[in-house]
Amino acid sequence: MKISTDDFRVLHRFPVHWGDMDSAQHVNNLVYLRWAETARVLYFRDIGINIDFGPGDTGAILAYQDCKYTFPMRYPDTALVGTRTISVAPDRFTMQTAIFSAEHQRLAALTEQVIVPYDYGTLAKAPLPSAWVERIEAIG
């Protein structure tokens, strides 16, 4: 399956900085995960997940993450980062984040994250709030 920016209703742009490159002269693998993290938190905000992580709040916690690197980005470029939910279960949802090179018009990395609702007051897993599911269905 070929993935493009058209597959994502939520898309963010991040500039590639010269300092994002490592000694191999391409964007360091950790930078891709930071872009995915920032896009994920913006997505949380968009679907109404509390990102303050305070006691008594139900927030989201990252339970699993992977990343497949498909193209080495370099400075100068712009990362186009798309996020979407690809599955919802009673106690979690799975997100996909795709990072595209704007300069080369191609996929550079593809990540998947499992997100679990977490009660920061009791420090325990929580049920998936129906309001989150409604917003996920609305935003994709």
Q: What is the mean pLDDT of each run of 10 residues along the chain (140 residues)?
A: 92 97 96 98 92 82 97 98 97 98 98 95 92 92
Domains in the chain, number: 1
Give the Cα separation of 43 and 136 in Å (integer): 9
CATH number of the structural domain spanning residue 82: 3.10.129.10
Using an 8 Å Cβ cutoff, are 10 and 85 in contact?
Answer: no
Q: Are strands 106-119 and 92-101 parallel, antiparallel or unpaired?
A: antiparallel
Two tokens, residue 19:
């300092």
Q: Write b or e for each residue in 126-135: b if 16 or more Cβ atoms lie within 10 A of its Cβ, otherwise e.
A: bebeeebeeb
- pLDDT of the residue at 131: 94
Alpha-carbon dihedral 20, 38, 4, 7, rounded to 10 degrees: 180
- pLDDT of the residue at 43: 96
The set of residues, in sequence order, having a beta carbon less than 8 Å from that of 138 and lying 6+ positions away, is none
Domain that holds residue 97: 5-139
Give the Cα separation of 91 and 26 in Å (integer): 38
Closest by CA to 41, choosing from 83, 86, 4, is 83
The pTM for the full model equals 0.93
